[in-house]
Chain A
Amino acid sequence: MASEPLPYARPRPGTQPPVLYPDYASTQKRAPKRAPLRLEHTLSETTGPVFEDGWAGPDSTDLTRQHKGAPLGERMILAGRILDEDGRPLAGTLVELWQCNSAGRYHHPVDQHDAPLDPNFTGAGQAVTNAAGEYRFLTIKPGAYPWRNSPNAWRPAHIHLAVFGPAFVTRLNTQMYFPGDPLLAYDPIFQSTADAQARERLIAQYDPALSEPEWALGYRWDMVLRGRAATPLDPA
């Protein structure tokens, strides 16, 4: 008999955001109303794209040296590991990153916020994790910016990250936030996850050991992807 693919764990209640979260107004017309159909995982779910061979192109991990000059803002290192729920590092997985500049403006035609563009900052990078599941970017700290979700709403400073992991069901698209940001308390996107411990996962830690003297502040941020539902027994 063929062995069954080992399924991935389902999220524990409250640890992921719901599709409908009315405080984030854009969910109201985009959240499905029918309950999704539960499907036990097959090979279609437990496999996924492989990026170890450089297919996604070269790493681009220094966002401060993509133009002639240096971007304005506070230089920072963002580094961490990508782990599964059992704490195992995920090597060879693609991490895609994007963010606004230090004034809170994206290098994107749709962003019309009245803050300056920085000709020396695009705000995009990518990396494939090493054998220890580690990634590392050098960038500048993004600014907060207003959005039209509700009157006088401001997004806390954040960096977008998208990660694949080993399977199609381990895909994670998320945002990293900064410790102590007073805007977090008012941000419906951050607050959409009910479980406070899960929300804490979204906040990087300042790490003096990661900071480089006279150069850049260090923030450490691990991302945890779904793991297997059951740990397989090691062969004797």
Chain B
Amino acid sequence: MAEKLIPTPSQTVGPFFSLGLDRPEWNDLTCGHPQGERIVIAGRVLDGDGAPVPDAVVEIWQANAAGRYAHPEDPQTDKPLDPNFRGFGRVATDAEGRFHFTTIKPGPVPGRGNSLQAPHINVLLLSRGLLIHLHTRIYFDGEPANAADPLLSSIEDPAVRGTLLARREGSSQSGSPAHYRFDIVMQGDNETAFLDL
């Protein structure tokens, strides 16, 4: 086998990334009216002092309502592609470290072996002070499929597992999307479970 090239090292996006990464319309994945339950996920990004992180970017990648990714390598041809759903979003935090995006609840997707992964949203976090981005996932609190999810069930500490759960907030009125809360704690007691991918 030929010798592999060394991948280019990551470097921080720094404090001025909005010049190149600001896409205000990318925090609404439902603009094309995709199939599925519309939801809003909102939260804050916090640092090791519990202080808001005003210069972070949250990127998300998810399957459609049927559990298929809009990507040529998803082999699930038995599930429909949704031409109105791409599955990618991006939002920068505001001065109080807050972010929110509107999307649809993804369907379950296959895991390794014959496992099934509970509905989840893949998250990538960029910020000043991060030399390399962080990965985590958003799962949905109360979802029956969570019990058999390979990642969630591999985490013994319920407090750590809980950092991956978005929690339903308020009572949803008919016609308005369900609201979920998901904070990302970069460091400290309630630190989010980040993933080594």
Whether the Cβ atoms of A106 and B19 lie closer than 8 Å is yes
Specify the chain B residue showing the minimal Cβ separation from A83.
Answer: B5
Q: Chain B: residues with CB nearer than 8 A to chain A?
A: 1-2, 4-21, 23, 47-49, 51, 53, 55, 59, 61, 63, 69-75, 86-88, 109-114, 117, 120, 122, 124, 126-135, 137, 151, 154-155, 160, 186-188, 191-197
The contact sample of 10 A-B pairs, CB cut-off 8 A, is A4-B113, A26-B129, A27-B129, A30-B47, A31-B130, A37-B154, A43-B63, A84-B5, A85-B4, A98-B20
Q: Is A186 an interface residue when CB atoms closer than 8 A count as contact?
A: no
Whether the Cβ atoms of B16 and A30 lie closer than 8 Å is no
Q: Chain A: residues with CB nearer than 8 A to chain B?
A: 1-5, 9, 11-12, 15-19, 21, 24, 26-50, 55-56, 83-87, 96-98, 100, 106-108, 110-111, 122-126, 158, 160, 162, 166-169, 171-175, 189-190, 192-193, 195, 197-199, 201-202, 223-227, 231
Within 8 Å CB of B120, what residues of A? 44
Among A32, A100, A189, contact of B187 (Cβ-Cβ < 8 Å): A32
The answer for the CA separation of A175 and B195 in the assembled complex, in Å, is 24
Among B5, B16, B53, contact of A98 (Cβ-Cβ < 8 Å): B16
Specify the chain A residue showing the minimal Cβ separation from B193.
Answer: A37
Among A55, A107, A198, contact of B19 (Cβ-Cβ < 8 Å): A107
Whether the Cβ atoms of A12 and B193 lie closer than 8 Å is no
Within 8 Å CB of A16, what residues of B? 7, 9-10, 132
Nearest-CB distance from B116 to chain A (Å)? 11
Among A35, A44, A197, contact of B122 (Cβ-Cβ < 8 Å): A44
Within 8 Å CB of B1, what residues of A? 231
Whether the Cβ atoms of B7 and A225 lie closer than 8 Å is yes
